[in-house]
A = this chain, B = another copy of it.
């Protein structure tokens, strides 16, 4: 199965590809690499999931938000590349969690995105290096923001 076929089999809905909220490009190709800007948990109605883990939302809600970030990133890839099959593999991910300073389960949260990518591109190509860390705050009080470096097929 191709990445597009594997994604279709998940029966998940893609949000619209996000438009920039500042002076940046959501997506850029450099040689055989595709860089994706920090994405938030964009929903189909173009609003964001909001909230800070430990101050209103739970870590399970945070993990679901990270999956939604993954879907927004897939939307950006589809919009710019036409197909998820144009991605060879995940190189690197920076997973940023908006949480109170006593929170300790950042990897659990960011797995919401990583598990999605592993389903789309497979356990090897869909999984890269990663840091999953806690921020002081995030734009619009979103719970998760993730940036990714992909290798193109």
Q: Is the CB–CB distance between B91 and A132 below 8 Å?
A: no
Q: Is the CB–CB distance between B23 and A115 below 8 Å?
A: yes
Q: Is the CB–CB distance between B104 and A140 below 8 Å?
A: yes
Quickly give the copy total for this chain. Answer: 3
Partner of A96, one of B105, B110, B131: B131
Selected A-B contacts with CB under 8 Å, 17 pairs: A22-B107, A22-B108, A23-B114, A24-B130, A25-B130, A27-B129, A30-B91, A35-B129, A97-B137, A100-B136, A100-B137, A105-B139, A107-B139, A129-B147, A133-B138, A134-B136, A134-B138
Residue positions of A touching B, CB distance < 8 A = 21-28, 30, 35-38, 52, 91-94, 96-108, 110-111, 114-115, 118, 127-141, 145, 147, 151
